[in-house]
Homo-oligomer: A and B are copies of this chain.
Amino acid sequence: MNGVSGKGTGLWLVGARGSVATTTAVGIAALSRNLAGPVGLTTASEDFAGVPLAAFGDIVIGGHDVGTTPLAEKALALSAAGMIDGALVAAVSDDLTAFDPNILPVPSAPTQQGEIEARALDILDFKAKFDLAHVVVIDVSSTEPLPAYRSEFEDRALLEASLATPGVTVLPPSSIGALAAVQAGAAYACFTPSTSLNLPVLWQWATDAGIPFAGQDGKTGETLLRTVLAPMFTSRGMKVRSWAGTNLLGGGDGSTLADPEAVRSKLASKNRGLHALLGNDVVAPLHIDHVPDLGDIKTAWDHVSAEGFLGSRVLLQTTWSAYDSMLAAPLVIDLARLLSLAQATGESGPMGAVGCFFKDPWGSDVHAFAEQSKVLVEWAQRVATRLPVGTP
């Protein structure tokens, strides 16, 4: 963020060897080397021209993952699947290899409290090692099943006791990862529909700690489209009666979501915006199907039926088709830049201002995308004025 002092921005990815993470790493390297333009990035637009955001070359990647595949190898696989251009992967291969030692296995410990501390330590080591001004932790790991209710979810003392008891697993991994960010004083974003900070006690915990945090579940394809289209019907006074959707995808995320438990949190998250925008009467069946041969391309069909003037019918079908990780990665980079700005400008708590990036925006009730985009630009321009002139 500040070229003069040499202090960069750290991007600590939970799930750092996955498809979204690898695409992010390739992207950071390609942008730094000017091998690609900043297409697909919100923060590269004119609207952010005066806002001091981290230069791509000043972003260092680290993270945790349960897997061990080297980034360069994963990138090759994505290239073989047609997702990333082979020449580009070859050109950034050395950068990927340079990131690799920053990606550590998820540490284990006798208690979950111990796990949180070990993870936080990894983050702080990373910060120190690269002399970083800020670290932004972003969870891009596999979607988890939602946990069954426990009384600890509403009572911090109870929770801390369980966290400190050896052998007790009270929180899911995503929440442990989020608390590690809290403990390390890092900004945090949850790009998945997993539990994360989304429990009353954890929400309060992060708020008290004063970090800026953002979520939840990246709004990339079909859901983005829906929060663009639904306000159109509302503005024109039409009543949407049904909005049916089917998603087809292969790839890593596709096979995770083939699990009916894991898919539940995703489906809930995907439909939240629709109901917020159109009311709860809208009939909205939604499916995610695992179709291996489609690879990393997500194809989504939506069928919308609305009542128009004098009871007439208005029908809209959409088919969206894109490499899912190619939509997600630039948002991860946007979030790294924006949350780093938030931290530099003293923002804290749930960051409704970045709600345009999420299916289920924390700290905001706004789902309409155009309105969210406006809110973001206004926020960025406003907080930027708090920084000393010449930054970065």
Number of A residues, CB within 8 Å of B: 75
A373 at the interface (CB under 8 A from B): yes
Q: Tell me which of B30, B292, B312 contacts A323 (CB under 8 A).
A: B312
- Which residues 309-325 of A have a CB within 8 angstroms of B? 309-323
- Which residues 283-336 of A have a CB within 8 angstroms of B? 283, 285, 287, 289-294, 299, 301, 303, 305, 307-323, 326-327, 329-330
A41 at the interface (CB under 8 A from B): yes
Residues of chain B lying within 8 A (CB to CB) of residue A98: none
Q: Do residues A312 and B229 form an inter-chain contact, with CB atoms below 8 A?
A: no
CA A7 to CA B45, docked complex, whole Å? 51
Contact bitstring A321-364, B, C-beta under 8 A = 1, else 0: 11100110110000000000000000000000000100000000
Q: Do residues B83 and A39 form an inter-chain contact, with CB atoms below 8 A?
A: no
Residues of chain B lying within 8 A (CB to CB) of residue A41: 237, 309
CA A283 to CA B88, docked complex, whole Å? 27
Q: Do residues B310 and A305 form an inter-chain contact, with CB atoms below 8 A?
A: no
A383 at the interface (CB under 8 A from B): no
Q: Do residues A86 and B86 form an inter-chain contact, with CB atoms below 8 A?
A: yes
- Which residues 43-88 of A have a CB within 8 angstroms of B? 44-45, 82-86, 88
Of the A-B pairs whose beta carbons lie under 8 Å apart in the complex, a sample of 25, sorted by A's number, is: A23-B310, A30-B310, A39-B308, A39-B310, A45-B234, A45-B235, A84-B310, A225-B229, A228-B229, A231-B370, A241-B293, A283-B291, A283-B293, A287-B287, A293-B305, A294-B305, A301-B301, A308-B322, A308-B323, A309-B329, A313-B323, A315-B321, A317-B319, A370-B370, A370-B371
